[in-house]
Amino acid sequence: MKKGTTPDYKQLNGIALAYFGDAVYEVYIRKHLLTTGLTKANQLQGTATRYVSAKAQAGLMKLMEQDQLLSVTEWDFFKRGRNAKSYTHAKNTSVVTYRVSTGFEALFGYLELSNQRQRVTELAHWCIEQVDAGRVEYGK
C-alpha cells in the first residue's frame, strides 16, 4: 500500500480493522454523549463505558444476531476480527468477550473503510438505542 492512501479493507487483518473501527464507533458515542448535555470529563468517560466496554459490545453483537441485523458480508468481517490472533486482552473481561468485542470493532472498521457511512450511522444509532433502552449489560 502506498503511503498516504486509504487502506484496502479487503487486505487488512481483523486487528487492524478493529483498531480503526474502535475509533469510528467511539466518535458516534462521544457525539451522542455531548448531545445529552454531559460536559465534565469524568461524567463523559464513565457514561461512555455503557456503550464502548467489551461487555457492552459483545452484548450488542448478541442482539444483532437475535435481530438478524447483519448481512452475510458484515458477519464475515465481524468473524475476521473475532478470530484474529491478539496477544492482548482487556482487563477484567473474558477472552471470549474480548474477542467478540474485537469483531464488533472490526465490523465498524470494515464499514467505514468500504465507504458505507450510512450503514455505519444506522448501526451506531441502533447500538445507542439498545444501550439506552437497557437491553445491554456494560459492566467490565
Residues labelled as active-site residues: 22
Q: Is 105:18 a contact under the CB 8 Å cutoff?
A: yes
Max CA distance (Å), the chain: 44
Rounded to whole angstroms, the Cα distance separating 18 from 54 reads 12
- Say how many C-beta atoms besides its own lie within 10 A of residue 24's C-beta: 19
Question: Rounded to 5 degrees, what are φ and ψ at 84?
Answer: -65, 145
Rounded to whole angstroms, the Cα distance separating 62 from 39 reads 31
Is the four-CA dihedral 128, 131, 137, 140 of positive or negative sign? positive
